[in-house]
């Protein structure tokens, strides 16, 4: 936590094997359901909604989905840096695009070679075959090691670098790195700012209740329409996807310049520090 801006980091090693992408998807869902991090007051939400910025990294083990007979062709394309053609067959890119995993997560463009599977102590050769008692197993060169992030809407975050290093060769993976420039919330609300109060009517076990949420914006930062969109994206998506027990979000309306009252649930300062 820094000045009201929260950061979360998840490092995971998902199930290996090119044929086990469904199991990897299940690993991801299980982590969302059972990993308990961050502010305890946000426990009704999964971890993707508990932090201003959540970074998810590790050996996610998603592979290039091509037949083993294409191994030499894949290596040739890597040497020619024809990465985009291979990324079209990347399992994580496909599963994410279909909304099965890492919904609304961002990943910087990949401009580096696949980080798995190398011969140890060298980065000149991919070791894509492995002799086993049951026969030869193929591990096609793939981008197994990834860095993804998910941030609240309209916050300042910029990826400065995303790559891998070939200097560390003790593993059959090449380490991946990423650096980010991130804005943090101000401790103070501008005297010239605008308060937008949002009333959310919700139903639970047949009983309708009203809850009010106040968001603070500087006039120069957001218009009323931007404020409405921001609240919708934060709170409506949370309620629809994450809060168990709520039957539906019935109504969400905006009251600009309304006076802050006692029933305010959260006050979220979104005046960002910018260069």
In a domain, 30, yes or no: yes
Instruction: Write out pLDDT tens, residues 148-200.
Output: 999 999 899 999 999 999 999 999 999 999 999 998 887 655 555 554 444 44
Provide the CATH number for the domain around residue 224: 3.60.10.10
Residue 18 lies in a domain: yes
pLDDT at 70: 97
Mean pLDDT of 232-237: 34
Percent of the chain with pLDDT over 70: 67
State pLDDT tens for residues 126-143. Answer: 999 988 888 899 999 999
222 confidence band (pLDDT: 50, 70, 90) = very low
Does a structural domain hold residue 258? Answer: no
pLDDT beyond 50 at 236: no
Instruction: Say if 261 falls within a structural domain.
Output: no
Structural domain boundaries enclosing 145: 7-187+206-238
Average pLDDT over residues 78-106: 97
Mean pLDDT of the chain: 77
Residue 83 in domain: yes
Q: How far apart are CA 213 and CA 198, in angstroms?
A: 5
In a domain, 243, yes or no: no
**pLDDT value at residue 123:** 96
Residue 271 has pLDDT above 90, yes or no: no
pLDDT of residue 38: 85
The confidence score (pLDDT) of residue 189 equals 56
How confident is the model over 41-60, as a mean pLDDT? 92
What pTM was estimated for this model as a whole? Answer: 0.69
Domain assignment of residue 76, yes or no: yes
Q: What is the pLDDT of residues 8-44, one digit of tens each?
A: 999 999 999 999 999 999 999 999 999 988 888 888 8
133, part of any domain: yes
Number of domains in the chain: 1
């Amino acid at each position: 936590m820094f000045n009201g801006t929260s950061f979360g980091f998840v490092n995971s090693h998902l199930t290996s094997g090119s044929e086990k992408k469904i199991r990897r998807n299940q690993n991801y869902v299980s982590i969302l359901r059972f990993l308990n991090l961050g502010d305890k007051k946000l426990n009704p939400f999964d971890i993707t909604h508990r932090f201003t910025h959540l970074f998810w990294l590790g050996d996610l083990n998603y592979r290039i989905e091509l037949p083993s007979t294409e191994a030499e062709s894949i290596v040739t394309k890597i040497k020619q840096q024809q990465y985009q053609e291979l990324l079209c067959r990347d399992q994580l890119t496909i599963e994410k695009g279909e909304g099965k995993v890492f919904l609304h997560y961002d990943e910087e463009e990949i401009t580096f070679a696949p980080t798995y599977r190398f011969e140890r102590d060298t980065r000149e050769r991919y070791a894509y075959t492995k002799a086993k008692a049951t026969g030869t197993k193929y591990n096609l060169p793939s981008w197994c090691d990834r860095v993804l992030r998910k941030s609240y809407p309209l916050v300042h975050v910029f990826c400065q670098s995303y790559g891998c290093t070939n200097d560390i060769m003790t593993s059959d993976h090449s380490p991946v790195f990423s650096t980010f420039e991130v804005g943090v919330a101000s401790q103070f609300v501008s005297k010239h700012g605008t308060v937008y109060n949002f009333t959310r009517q919700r139903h639970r076990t047949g009983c309708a209740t009203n809850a009010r949420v106040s968001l603070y914006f500087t006039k120069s930062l957001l218009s009323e329409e931007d404020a409405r969109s921001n609240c919708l994206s934060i709170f409506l998506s949370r309620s629809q996807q994450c809060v168990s027990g709520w039957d539906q979000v019935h109504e969400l309306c905006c009251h600009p310049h309304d006076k802050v009252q006692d029933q305010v649930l959260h006050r979220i300062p979104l005046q960002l520090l910018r260069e």
